[in-house]
Amino acid sequence: MTEKIKIIGPGKVDSTYWKKQGKSFLITIAGAALGFVLNFLGIIDYGSYTTIAATALPFITNAARKWLGSYESK
């Protein structure tokens, strides 16, 4: 049985796109909030690495979400 493939043309978006963009935005906000809270509480002082930390924290947050999330076995 062949699987139907939905083709989205250039410049067009569907609901799946917006869901992925929204999820990515929320992960970015969570990473930034985590960095702010850790810096505000004095747990971490980024110093001259603030820009690198602000860039890396959303990726670290996403990796932690994937690692701590649930998995399905086949």
- In the prediction, which pLDDT does 41 show? 92
Question: Does 9 have pLDDT greater than 80?
Answer: no
User: Is 35 inside a domain boundary?
Assistant: yes
47: tokens are 């110093």
- Asked if 39 and 45 count as a contact pair (C-beta separation under 8 A), the reply is yes
**pLDDT digit string, tens, across residues 30-74:** 888 888 898 889 888 888 888 888 888 888 877 887 777 766 655
Q: Is residue 4 part of a domain?
A: no
Q: Is residue 52 part of a domain?
A: yes
Residue 7 forms part of a structural domain: no
**Residue 56 belongs to a domain:** yes
Q: Establish if 51 belongs to a structural domain.
A: yes
User: 43: domain range?
Assistant: 25-62
CA distance 23 to 16: 11
Q: Give the pTM.
A: 0.60
The answer to the question of residue 16 being in a domain is: no
CB of 16 closer than 8 Å to CB of 22 = no
CA–CA gap between residue 67 and residue 14 (Å, rounded): 28
Residue 34 lies in a domain: yes
Count of domains in the chain? 1
